[in-house]
Structure 1
Amino acid sequence: MRVRETGQERGSALEKALAVLEAITAQSQPIGLPDLSARLGLPRQTVHRVLTQLEAAGLIVRDPSRDRFSVGPRLNTLALNALTTRNQSAPIRAILQALVDDIEETCNVGVLDGTDFLYLERIECHWSLRVHLTAGSRLPAHCTSGGKVLLAHLNSHVREKLLRNLTLKQYTDTTITQVEDLEAHLAAVRERGYAVNNQEFTVGILGVAVPIITPEGRVLAALALHGPAPRLDLDRAVGFVPKLKEAAARMAEAWAEPVQQDTERIRTPSDDTGSVPASVGN
């Protein structure tokens, strides 16, 4: 998508920012400044200024080792919040409900919001002994399975920056409170593909979580389950990982479908020529 001439300037500031975001989100791999400049038909200085602003806002992240850019956690959160506030959340809830009915434990979907794990969707099991939380609840990321699985899959530069500013408050005897220990733990999470919460936030509550990943490899959110220790031990929790991964794959497909439909719906003849309508942002 190239930004078209609009009077004396090549598009408004908003149009340029949207064009850069669209170009980055269209890539399955991080993209560099020279490629973005060529794709958009904008001077490198202009693209660099936009990238700096988007990075400061948390909408994109930069890999300093290669000087390439990819989607940031804040942009993922905004997109998922938009989807879950529309009717498009119904397929996600249906998948979540089927999972809860199958494994008979509370399950939730959430994203990182700063240093918190934010619940977007949550369905509780039928047992009277359970943790009562609602969508919109926040828990510390460093001691929850959903939070840890998302921390583990962050861009390494973003994760390092976040961990440097993270207060690892101790909630129980098993809470990880040292950055070095958490980094090693997150490396193991990435290796095995799931995270475990062994009573790290609340004594007597265990959990396990997997990432919700698009076919292109982009992590959208986390799917987690948790339950009380008298009913759910670690072996049993980990035993549910295959079912969690299957449900997570279905959720990734469900989220991708409306996004693709919306993209096709707003496509105009000018898109076919690679331009943005001149009226945008004027």
Structure 2
Amino acid sequence: MKESAIEDTPLFNQSLAKALSVIRAFSSRQRTMTLAEIAIVAQITRSSAQRIVFTLEALGYIRKHPQTRRFLLTPRALSIGCNYLEADPLVDCANPFLAALNAQCKESVALTEPDGLDMVYVSRFPSHEHVTIHVPVGKRVPMYCTGSGRAYLSARNDQESMEILKQSERKKYTPTTITDIGEILNMLEEAKARGYAYNNEELYIGDVTIASPIVNASGEAIAAVHVAAPGSRWTFAEASQKLAPLVLECARSISNAARNFD
């Protein structure tokens, strides 16, 4: 059922949807906002924003800065995402293997899960060395131009992968971002054959990722694991040669341990 159709059903709670849109409105680009700004970013009326912000403030999810009088999220907002992470069996299952991979390669290792057109970071072990790109748990990245997204798509059926690519905005984040569907499909076929996918500075300049899908008992991808290799320490060729075998082994281990997960 399409989102517009769902919103027209009598069971759909508009007030709850608006409240969630207010929480999602805050980001690294919108750390603090006025009531008017919240209404614009959340795409709701100012009167709705006023009622929702008042309620969220009373519940402790939003507060008003005493000096600037601008609204910002509180640490309590983290409880929503934390509840998911605590209830997700794949995170507990994968973490020992992710930690081992992190110790082997010394670079940032992450587990991502699909949500719509994006992959979402649900676990991350940071690099032992300096990194310039901060990617917190909960961060969303598009499937079409990331190693984790391509790894996931490579282990899904062709029709689903094509539909996701067609619906994606496919914008160029960097000069090297690949946006052509045909070219991406070729990359997915190559990833399927060798077991891993990559992203060579397509989302962030100076960032290469090597990723492999985590699959269930039916061989369908349910998540992906990747290593981020900074260009300051790795060439693409080195990352492919040295990191890919480690990522493949980690993904196989997690897949075997999680074979009964949907």
User: Is the 1:117–1:138 Cα contact (8 Å) retained in structure 2?
Assistant: yes
Match of 1:135 in 2: 137
User: Is the 2:102–2:109 Cα contact (8 Å) retained in structure 1?
Assistant: yes
CA 1:128–1:114 in 2, change beyond 3 Å: closer, same or farther? same
Instruction: Find out whether 1:167 has 2:169 as its counterpart.
Output: yes
Displacement over 3 Å in runs of 4+: 81-84, 86-91
Root mean square deviation of aligned Cα: 2.3
Deviation at 1:167, TM superposition (A): 1.5
In the alignment, the residues of structure 2 paired with residue 240 and residue 122 of structure 1 have an alpha-carbon distance, to the nearest angstrom, of 17
In the alignment, the residues of structure 1 paired with residue 164 and residue 217 of structure 2 have an alpha-carbon distance, to the nearest angstrom, of 26
**Of residues 251, 254, 258 in structure 2, which corresponds to 1:248?**
251
Deviation at 1:155, TM superposition (A): 1.4
Amino acid at match of 1:249: R
User: Is the 1:131–1:227 Cα contact (8 Å) retained in structure 2?
Assistant: no
**Of residues 66, 72, 92 in structure 1, which corresponds to 2:94?**
92
TM-score normalized with structure 2 length:
0.62
Q: Which runs of 5+ in 1 are unaligned?
A: 1-80, 261-282
- CA displacement, residues 87-106 of structure 1 (integer Å, 9 cap, x when unaligned): 84334212111110111010
Which structure ranks higher in relative contact order (CA pairs < 8 Å, sequence separation ≥ 6)? 1
CA 1:251–1:82 in 2, change beyond 3 Å: closer, same or farther? farther
Amino acid at match of 1:134: P
User: Is the 1:130–1:227 Cα contact (8 Å) retained in structure 2?
Assistant: no
Amino acid at match of 2:246: K
Match of 1:108 in 2: 110
* 3-state secondary structure, aligned to 2:124: strand
CA 1:156–1:82 in 2, change beyond 3 Å: closer, same or farther? farther
In the alignment, the residues of structure 1 paired with residue 111 and residue 102 of structure 2 have an alpha-carbon distance, to the nearest angstrom, of 12
Match of 1:73 in 2: none
In the alignment, the residues of structure 2 paired with residue 191 and residue 253 of structure 1 have an alpha-carbon distance, to the nearest angstrom, of 19
User: Is the 2:217–2:259 Cα contact (8 Å) retained in structure 1?
Assistant: no
Deviation at 1:242, TM superposition (A): 1.6
Count of aligned residue pairs for this structure pair: 179
In the alignment, the residues of structure 1 paired with residue 182 and residue 93 of structure 2 have an alpha-carbon distance, to the nearest angstrom, of 39
Instruction: Find out whether 1:236 has 2:227 as its counterpart.
Output: no
* 3-state secondary structure, aligned to 2:214: strand
Deviation at 1:84, TM superposition (A): 4.2
CA 1:96–1:116 in 2, change beyond 3 Å: closer, same or farther? same
Match of 1:203 in 2: 205
CA 1:179–1:218 in 2, change beyond 3 Å: closer, same or farther? closer
CA 1:151–1:91 in 2, change beyond 3 Å: closer, same or farther? closer
Deviation at 1:185, TM superposition (A): 1.9
- CA displacement, residues 11-51 of structure 1 (integer Å, 9 cap, x when unaligned): xxxxxxxxxxxxxxxxxxxxxxxxxxxxxxxxxxxxxxxxx
**Of residues 202, 206, 215 in structure 2, which corresponds to 1:213?**
215
* 3-state secondary structure, aligned to 1:133: coil
Deviation at 1:140, TM superposition (A): 1.4
Of all paired residues, the percent bearing the same amino acid is 27
**Of residues 128, 145, 148 in structure 2, which corresponds to 1:146?**
148
TM-score normalized with structure 1 length:
0.58
User: Is the 2:200–2:209 Cα contact (8 Å) retained in structure 1?
Assistant: yes
Amino acid at match of 1:122: R
In the alignment, the residues of structure 2 paired with residue 212 and residue 120 of structure 1 have an alpha-carbon distance, to the nearest angstrom, of 14
Amino acid at match of 1:171: Y
- CA displacement, residues 254-278 of structure 1 (integer Å, 9 cap, x when unaligned): 3347x69xxxxxxxxxxxxxxxxxx
In the alignment, the residues of structure 1 paired with residue 119 and residue 169 of structure 2 have an alpha-carbon distance, to the nearest angstrom, of 14
* 3-state secondary structure, aligned to 1:110: strand
Q: Which runs of 5+ in 2 are unaligned?
A: 1-81
In the alignment, the residues of structure 2 paired with residue 183 and residue 217 of structure 1 have an alpha-carbon distance, to the nearest angstrom, of 19
In the alignment, the residues of structure 2 paired with residue 104 and residue 236 of structure 1 have an alpha-carbon distance, to the nearest angstrom, of 14
In the alignment, the residues of structure 2 paired with residue 121 and residue 96 of structure 1 have an alpha-carbon distance, to the nearest angstrom, of 9
